[in-house]
Structure 1
């Protein structure tokens, strides 16, 4: 079943439109380009492996930075197009396109660097994380590097107001009929672009992954307790997930960055892409780059993943919400996760009636009434 699921996943990347979507994502593509161009000493005269090469853009960046050899490993049939692109750009003497799974291919040498754009929705959905770890264990030299090096997953309560209002407006008058009942029937996770104004707390770190030390079994279950303090009067309708990845490595005291990030997670609440002063012992100073999918940053094709609640809560500054978030790897589809949010306690006032069920005017009045009442308290 797992092998069949992998084959299905790989075949989905035969579609050129999937790759066009990713290539047109400037935030994504330029982050890789910027890091490689600003840190050429990690690529010049080095052997590089591009895991999940796709159409080969990362391999081209590495070749342009002076790589001695690049192995572009791609499991889907898009590898044929990748080979044409490599030849068209006259770097086929440097870049070797290999059609196959990184778990199964062979190359004649160890590599100095692994690069990969492996991230999926909410970082882990349909991702290639396990393939990158396998590539590291099979092919990376002991003193090698992986880029990006660190991945962080965040969670933050949201009012979903912009989305909520847009959906209600659409269904309220659907070809002259009221279809608003459809808005309460679907509580499945959604891929949306969240308006930053709809974030009602500071984000919290769910997990930090260091690609140099991670094990494939680390991600079977990810569980963490979260306590959010609300920053405004609003209505909590769900939790938004997003991630960032950091192109960096261990610093000069050889302590894994994930430990430092975990200790300082509350200082990274905005997922702001803060530059870390990162060093690689015995080499030039590394100039780190962060690719963020936060609502506070330019939109990416990953957007944000929203877990809608079945119940909504009125919240106010100083109130709080405590929950256990559990991401469990699906037994049949290993590239997918089941996400559970278990409410442990709340300092917000549970909403007795769905505000979405009343008119916009009444809803606005009700929200103002609740806000004034909370201010009195």
Structure 2
């Protein structure tokens, strides 16, 4: 038996996990909230342990629950099911899920698993869940949880630093320094006080368990990040935590602002602390990489970077001049009254135009596009007129980033009346029903969820270092992916036009965004004209074709 599974035969471990009421009740709530999804369904509980999740599934009406447990604790699950009068529904499989032949049992409708370890992926059990998803779950099956997110934030760690300053009146800073050198070599599991968190949590990884591959979890993070301090303090380490979402929309979060769990938080300790001030940017690179020789382990690496040399989020709240200026641009662009309230002449005098050739930045194209929008959002020809000597691939890419950013404004307004109960499908006209590609198999999705998934997916792709590592030049193979993004985000316009016309018209009158987008995709042949069903351009009529 694998040592990993033997370790889970210690009942103390299970008492610790079962005593974690936040953990147990999160799963129970998600399962009981989804009672109708479990009734008469076949469920698989992977890493069933004591069997409590299997019992929950049986209690809400599951037809059969396969409780898969590789350790000797499997022998206890049957007794637990008898104690709870569900022995006719719970079938124990004493084996690793990878050793179950797909031909030995029917496909299951739902997979339930509490697979998370410290910093989400420690112990590598997610691999087993993905194996079961690919081999044992129906194509339209559900996973509990369905989404996992990993976060990090610079923090203070007074127990690692302040303690040594005064030990009963004796200064031991020299020992503290050596202590921190040792502690900085591996992550620490501890509770971080929410008052010691210096910045908003930075999302390092967003995993859609319905479609992510095993290869994609070999490396998490790996990007350059910038976090902005919310207060003065001492940067002494990095706090890491995770959250998972269930199909009913509920969430289990292990962050320092949430109820305590047995996972606590993970901290990477710095050998020396650094004084930081409110609005100061902290730039870093963080990655989790699966250990090739020990696949249940991940190697964690933190590198501190120069905030001057790293690309910041847009907008960014830090105190650097470039971010203050960019944020002002965006605030003015997105203010719903900006174009009506302030004369364009005064806006131009406040923000003088800068010739493109004088813009010396990797963000020059983005800044130029925003400058043209600010000058006159209705002058679409001017906005789409590419400066000489510019790379066309970069021009298309930056415009699409800008479209997606502005479309978030429409998405926010749609939330006022586009509810899952009223807009149960992403539709345009009666002949257009769109399937959401954010799932393992594309399927129907409420319109507001489709909108959120589409914009999240577009942001993920457009911010991917794999496909778009540079904003100065872009490979043709990456440019080819832009058409697919255009087709999907256009559906947000079409749904708003045909089902929320008042919101669409108000937004369009302020931004001219759909007109600009339509002209953009037409000019660069990124969409078929047959699919441009919103009659937004002058003299254009609505056309319909099969979805």
* TM-score normalised by structure 2 residue count: 0.53
Distance 1:167 1:78 in 2: 44
User: Secondary structure at 1:103's aligned position in 2?
Assistant: helix
Residues 1-377 of structure 1: matches in 2 within 5 Å? 7-106=2-101, 107-161=104-158, 164-166=161-163, 180=176, 183-186=179-182, 187=184, 188-222=186-220, 223-248=222-247, 287-346=248-307
Distance 1:154 1:180, change over 3 A: closer
CA contact (8 A) 2:58 2:90 kept: yes
| Aligned residues: CA RMSD | 2.1
CA contact (8 A) 1:171 1:179 kept: no
Bigger radius of gyration among the two:
2
Counting strand residues as a fraction of each chain, which structure ranks higher? 1
Deviation per residue, 1:338-360 (Å, 9 max, x gap): 1111222147xxxxxxxxxxxxx
Displacement of 1:214 after TM fit? 1.0
User: Secondary structure at 2:262's aligned position in 1?
Assistant: coil
Displacement of 1:184 after TM fit? 3.0
Displacement of 1:69 after TM fit? 0.3
Q: Specify every segment of 5 or more residues in structure 1 that has no aligned partner in the other structure, as ranges.
A: 249-286, 348-377
CA contact (8 A) 1:150 1:210 kept: yes
Distance 1:58 1:308, change over 3 A: same
Displacement of 1:54 after TM fit? 0.3
Distance 1:182 1:148, change over 3 A: same
User: Secondary structure at 1:27's aligned position in 2?
Assistant: helix
Question: Relative to structure 2, which stretch is displaced further, 132-141 or 224-233?
Answer: 224-233
CA contact (8 A) 1:48 1:114 kept: yes
CA contact (8 A) 1:244 1:292 kept: yes
Distance 1:181 1:218, change over 3 A: closer
Distance 1:77 1:169 in 2: 49
Distance 1:183 1:169, change over 3 A: farther
User: Secondary structure at 2:17's aligned position in 1?
Assistant: helix
User: Secondary structure at 1:45's aligned position in 2?
Assistant: coil
Displacement of 1:169 after TM fit? 5.7
Distance 1:168 1:88 in 2: 55
Distance 2:306 2:258 in 1: 31
Distance 1:167 1:142, change over 3 A: farther
Q: Specify every segment of 5 or more residues in structure 2 that has no aligned partner in the other structure, as ranges.
A: 309-547
Distance 1:166 1:26 in 2: 31
Question: Relative to structure 2, which stretch is displaced further, 156-165 or 143-152?
Answer: 156-165
Deviation per residue, 1:132-182 (Å, 9 max, x gap): 0001111100111001000000000001125544566669769x9x96465
Displacement of 1:50 after TM fit? 0.2
Distance 1:168 1:45 in 2: 62
CA contact (8 A) 2:164 2:175 kept: no
Displacement of 1:313 after TM fit? 1.2
Counting helix residues as a fraction of each chain, which structure ranks higher? 2
Deviation per residue, 1:294-336 (Å, 9 max, x gap): 1001100000000111232110012111111121111111111
